[in-house]
Amino acid sequence: MNAAAFARALPVTAAVALAVLLAAFAVGVRTGRHRGVDVAWGLAFTAVALASLALSGGHGDPGRRILATVLVTVWGLRLSGHIWWRGRGEPEDPRYARMLSRAPEGPARTRYALRMVYLLQAALVWFVSLPVQAAQYIPEPPGALAWAGTALWAVGLFFEAVGDRQLARFKADPANRGRIMDRGLWRYTRHPNYFGDACLWWGLFLLCADTPAGWALVLSPALMTWLLAFGSGKPLLERHLGSERPGWAEYAARTSGFLPLPPRRPGPPPGTGP
């Protein structure tokens, strides 16, 4: 990998991620709703990948550069489009409403939103995308690990996209109002979209893992997986669902929390013996 060229590009890609999130911040301030930052999330990754493609010309294998850019762009545009369509006309996301309620109203809350939502996410976009950026500076064409990563990316995109589609169809049926989604992929994991996202980023990491320098970036997919499974993803959503949806405890008891697994059989009622 051309480490010098890669290092020179890092400030530029950081500025690109920051620019996308600052644009989203301006929209959030104007509309009074900050849920649009989730739309900007996928767009920021796409912008960073495209910037890396432009900056890496003459330093990396063209096939690997195009592969990395296409995979991120397909994922990022699909995710942003889905989130925009799902949230159009909706009020503020409860997650951001709770977070921003910690700061007093007015300019202090706006500054808090900038710091804790937008700037933080810009930094995460830049850090998590480092393997994608590094892959574009590898002069060798994609090898076995890169193609294995592409296959893992495809598995992740399937879980994420199909899970989102199944949930959207479930919510669109008025008969399901207030009920727990436990069909399709949601029968095997409580979070097929989060599991898919983790697979996808480990797959993208493998695009640079056939070089020793690439392995130094393993913390990028590890951080994303931690955020999804233990940080701001699964735990926050499950706390909300546990307090809002009847039947959540029973669903959680029989359904894997992250990895897709066969549903568990219900245990004997309390107080009963063999």
pLDDT of residue 163: 94
CA 188 from chain center: how many Å? Answer: 20
Distance between CA 3 and CA 164 in Å, rounded? 38
DSSP per-residue codes, 175-239: GGTT----SGGGGT-S-HHHHHHHHHHHHHHTTSTTSHHHHTTTHHHHHHHHHHHTSTTHHHHHH
Asked if 21 and 44 count as a contact pair (C-beta separation under 8 A), the reply is yes
Enumerate long-range contacts of 6-13, CB under 8 Å, 24 or more apart: 6/56, 6/59, 6/133, 6/134, 6/137, 9/51, 9/52, 9/55, 9/56, 9/133, 9/137, 10/126, 10/133, 12/51, 12/55, 13/48, 13/51, 13/52, 13/55, 13/126, 13/129, 13/133
Asked if 52 and 124 count as a contact pair (C-beta separation under 8 A), the reply is no
Distance between CA 125 and CA 139 in Å, rounded? 24
Asked if 48 and 125 count as a contact pair (C-beta separation under 8 A), the reply is yes
Q: Residues 77, 176, 259, 237: what is their CA dihedral angle, to the nearest 10 degrees?
A: 70
pLDDT of residue 64: 94
Distance between CA 239 and CA 168 in Å, rounded? 21
pLDDT of residue 267: 58
Q: What is the pLDDT along the chain (274 residues), one digit of tens a residue?
A: 788 899 999 999 999 999 999 999 999 999 888 888 999 999 999 999 999 999 998 889 999 999 999 999 999 999 999 999 888 878 877 778 778 888 888 888 889 889 989 999 999 999 999 999 999 999 999 999 999 999 999 999 999 999 999 999 998 889 888 788 889 999 999 999 999 999 999 999 999 998 888 889 999 999 999 999 888 778 777 777 766 777 888 888 899 988 999 998 765 544 444 3
pTM: 0.89
Asked if 22 and 113 count as a contact pair (C-beta separation under 8 A), the reply is no
